[in-house]
Amino acid sequence: MERKERLIKRAEERFDVFVAMKNDQNQPGYAGAPKATLKLAISPLFPSRILISQRELLSLIQNTRVPWRGTGFPLSRTSILSQHESALILEADGQTFSLLEANIWGLFFYVCEIEGEYGDNNTKSRGIHLYAFLGRLLVFLEHVRQSYSAIGYEGTLEVRVVLERMRGTPFLYSSFAGFIDQGPSSQLDDKVSFVLSVPSSRLQTDRDTVSLDLLRILLFAVNWPDVASQDEKINVLLESGYKFNMWKPKT
């Protein structure tokens, strides 16, 4: 447990360094402070052994690509970084504040800014677009599913989800008329964090159910229980996540 906490903390610190670099107004590419942010860390429940060499890890990150929105995830617009025990891709989903880190102990860490403006010029709304959020959750899980399959890991996984800078930031979704509607927001908590244990075999064979389990917990946490408690509505959201990712409909 101590090793896992250390590995996650190191990944978070690396992201903080990256954000600080982008936040320096004296540096080119200044992008302003990050807003609502999603962090997803997936690792063996007890990372007690090295699963992959550093050289193999670099090759894995270089060659594992998930079809996503007409291109692929991760986008790899910048060179893959090799750091101590890890391989990293900055701006992994094309946004300024996003990062993918994988290490030799089997930890995969995904982080991205999830707040933005949506709608036309006359009716823009700021918040977290629900379908984009679910689409990213799906593509992160698919990327890690393929990665563990390539490594050959079998065992219990710990999935840790963190939402930061959440207070007062509403979820947004498309109405039947094509307009952007505003859902609820977290009124008191500015940070949501939880852990879910998942057998690797379940991730391999039923990735979508894992993603919906995570989404259900998240929606309860941010004050949207009427959607979280209804399986029919949750399953419709899954289809919307597929559409955002430009994936073929689930059969």
**Position 177 pLDDT exceeds 70:** no
Domain boundaries, the chain: 2-245
- Write the pLDDT tens digit of every residue in 48-105: 999 999 999 999 999 999 999 999 999 877 789 999 999 999 999 987 789 999 999 9
CA distance linking residue 249 with residue 70, whole number of Å: 15
- Write the pLDDT tens digit of every residue in 126-141: 899 999 999 999 999 9
pTM to 2 decimal places: 0.92
Q: Stretch 28-57: mean pLDDT, rounded?
A: 86
Q: Could you give the percent of the chain with pLDDT greater than 70?
A: 92
CA distance linking residue 43 with residue 1, whole number of Å: 11
pLDDT at 117: 84
pLDDT at 24: 67
> Integer distance in angstroms from the first to the last C-alpha of the chain?
39
